[in-house]
Amino acid sequence: MKWILSLLLILSMLPLQVQAQPINTGDPFIIINKANNKLAFIDDNAVQEILPVGTGKSQELTPEGLFTVKVKAVNPYYRKKNIPGGDPRNPLGSRWIGFDARNTDGRIYGIHGTNQPASVGKYISNGCVRMHKSDVERLYEKVPIGSKVLITISNEDFKTLAKKYGAIK
């Protein structure tokens, strides 16, 4: 009985955090920095673009961590208010790049367009990441399902962050 308790004590001291899978150098990778509301698209071992985004009204609304793109949609349907894709009232805009934040399936949290372009660059959403129409449409074409998305608050530049995660040598 003593050895079982000792084993349980030792196991309880081990870290429970699971290490994120590293990014393969050269693969498409998205970094969103909530400190400055910018998104960087990393591909072919370099920062390809840095674009403005809108994120959560409060820090906790847009989840932080390393996620995986699970769903992509053209003219996404807005389930919350039953608004079809392509409708000018649809707040999701013309593209949806959904990722698996907070154990979801890519249909709750995502990078998407907006019908309120003035909101891009602000802390304004309920958790998603808003982009200008032309930016999200261009990004959509470059990001395959399975790509990694890092959401963080950092003072480090995008190249440094990409190197830390293995996306750039």
Residue whose pair of structure tokens reads 């001291």 in the numeric block: 13
The yes-or-no answer on residue 128 being catalytic is: yes
The yes-or-no answer on residue 132 being catalytic is: no
Residues 6+ apart with CB under 8 A from 52: 37, 38, 39, 120, 121, 131, 132, 135
Measured between alpha carbons, how far is 37 from 52 in angstroms, rounded to an integer?
Answer: 6
Of 70, 72, 95, 112, the active-site residue reads: 112
- φ and ψ of 71, to 5 deg: -140, 140
Of 128, 139, 149, 167, the active-site residue reads: 128
What pairing do the DSSP bridges indicate for beta strands 123-125 and 55-56?
parallel
Measured between alpha carbons, how far is 27 from 49 in angstroms, rounded to an integer?
Answer: 14
Of 143, 121, 141, which Cα lies nearest the Cα of 132? Answer: 121
The residues annotated with a catalytic role in the active site are 112, 128
